[in-house]
């Protein structure tokens, strides 16, 4: 996806994946800085750790408390800091890191585009209270959802996020647990990791809440075959979408941060879909 976007933009860059242990994250970022990398994306479990490792935090990373995109900035001879991906020439005096979060905006963008689901005023059942669930819950609250139910295997983590939302967004009615089974919700959003393995069961306990009571179901998991949750949702005539759109938009935004230019989203989407189909 990134290399397809980079090629179309005519940039002389390469996007490469590395596996790094959490204990080595600081050293990995330092190595990339020393080698004059343009940027980095970070995924589980590095997004929270990186908050304390970058030199500067963009407001997006401060708001969501997680970093998935790092941009390297250089200081020029006049003392101005500029992205290394947009370096105009001249000697780089010093390099620093700036952390961003492009996940949160990607969630709502994909909900709107792929499900025609507008978070403002909506009632949402959110499954999962890990890193992804927390960002989704806070983003939905910031967008003005009316009612939010948080369900997680470890209930205390859902309760903690509920407290955070009550403090920051008092107009959102937030509950821990399922809605009553006779209610309708606009959206069920899966942010658990259940579904990553083809044998995983659905993360929704239908004894607690029937899936047909949701107008739309979004699964952050993306796999070539539909997850158990999306299969059940489709059988119940709900609108459905998987996490491909979210993956796409966080990447498009990252490439735009590094390059300072509009990234070719449709080229990137085609490359991503090709890749997911071949996996």
The active-site residue out of 47, 139, 197, 253 is 47
In the complex, minimum distance from the CB of residue 270 to ligand ATR, in angstroms, rounded to a whole number: 26
Cβ 56 vs Cβ 97: under 8 Å? yes
Q: Kindly tell me which residue out of 106, 129, 151, 233 binds ligand ATR, with binding defined by CB under 6 A.
A: 129
Q: Kindly tell me which residue out of 153, 166, 274, 275 binds ligand ATR, with binding defined by CB under 6 A.
A: 153
**How many residues belong to the site for ligand ATR (CB under 6 A)?**
16
Residue 275 binds ligand ATR, judged by CB under 6 A: no
Residues 197-226, interacting with ligand ATR (CB under 6 A): 203
Residue 128 binds ligand ATR, judged by CB under 6 A: yes
Phi, psi (degrees; rounded to nearest 5) at 138: -65, -40
Taking Cα atoms as reference points, which of 215, 236, 218 lies closest to residue 227?
218
Cα 243–Cα 110–Cα 112 angle in degrees, nearest 5: 140
In the complex, minimum distance from the CB of residue 197 to ligand ATR, in angstroms, rounded to a whole number: 10
Q: Kindly tell me which residue out of 106, 117, 132, 165 binds ligand ATR, with binding defined by CB under 6 A.
A: 132
Cβ 71 vs Cβ 258: under 8 Å? yes
Q: Is 6 or 132 the residue whose CB approaches ligand ATR more closely?
A: 132
Residues 5-44, interacting with ligand ATR (CB under 6 A): 44
Phi, psi (degrees; rounded to nearest 5) at 147: -140, 135
DSSP element (H, E) containing 62: helix 59-64
Q: Annotated catalytic, 47?
A: yes
Q: Where are the beta strands (DSSP E) in the chain?
A: 39-41, 56-57, 69-75, 81-83, 94-100, 123-127, 147-151, 173-176, 185-190, 214-219, 239-242
**Is the alpha carbon torsion for 139, 37, 248, 81 positive or negative?**
positive
DSSP element (H, E) containing 25: helix 25-34
Closest residue to ligand ATR, judged by C-beta, is 130
Cβ 187 vs Cβ 216: under 8 Å? yes
Q: Give CA–CA dist 7/105, Å, rounded.
A: 25
Q: Kindly tell me which residue out of 22, 30, 113, 154 binds ligand ATR, with binding defined by CB under 6 A.
A: 154
Residues 167-196, interacting with ligand ATR (CB under 6 A): 191-194
Q: Is 71 or 151 the residue whose CB approaches ligand ATR more closely?
A: 151
In the complex, minimum distance from the CB of residue 140 to ligand ATR, in angstroms, rounded to a whole number: 15
Q: Give CA–CA dist 53/42, Å, rounded.
A: 12
Residue 243 binds ligand ATR, judged by CB under 6 A: no
Instruction: Select the span of 31-39, 146-154, 162-170, 266-274 touching ligand ATR (CB under 6 A).
Output: 146-154
Residues 88-107, interacting with ligand ATR (CB under 6 A): none
Residues annotated as part of the active site: 47
Contacting residues toward ligand ATR, per CB under 6 A: 44, 128-133, 152-154, 157, 191-194, 203
């Amino acid at each position: 996806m990134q290399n397809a976007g980079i090629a179309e933009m005519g940039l002389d860059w390469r996007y490469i994946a590395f596996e790094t242990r959490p204990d080595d994250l600081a050293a990995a970022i330092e190595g990339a800085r020393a080698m004059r990398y343009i940027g980095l994306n970070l995924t589980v479990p590095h997004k929270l750790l990186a908050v304390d490792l970058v030199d500067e935090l963009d407001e997006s990373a401060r708001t969501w408390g997680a970093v998935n995109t790092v941009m390297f900035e250089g200081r020029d001879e006049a003392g101005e800091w500029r992205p290394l991906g947009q370096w105009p020439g001249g000697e780089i005096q010093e390099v620093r890191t700036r952390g961003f979060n492009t996940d949160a905006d990607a969630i709502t963008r994909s909900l709107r585009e792929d499900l025609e689901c507008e978070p403002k005023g909506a009632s949402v059942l959110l499954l999962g209270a890990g890193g992804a669930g927390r960002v989704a819950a806070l983003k939905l609250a910031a967008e003005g959802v009316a009612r939010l139910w948080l369900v997680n295997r470890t209930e205390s983590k859902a309760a903690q996020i509920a407290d955070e939302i009550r403090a920051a967004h008092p107009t959102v009615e937030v509950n821990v647990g399922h809605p009553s089974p006779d209610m309708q919700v606009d959206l069920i959003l899966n942010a658990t990791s259940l579904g990553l393995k083809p044998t995983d069961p659905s993360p929704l306990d239908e004894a607690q809440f029937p899936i047909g009571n949701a107008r739309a179901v979004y699964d952050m998991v993306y796999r070539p075959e539909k997850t158990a949750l999306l299969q059940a949702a489709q059988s119940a005539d709900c609108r459905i979408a998987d996490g491909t759109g979210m993956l796409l938009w966080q990447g498009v935004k990252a490439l735009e941060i590094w390059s300072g230019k509009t990234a070719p989203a449709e080229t990137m989407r085609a490359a991503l879909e090709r890749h997911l189909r071949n996996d």
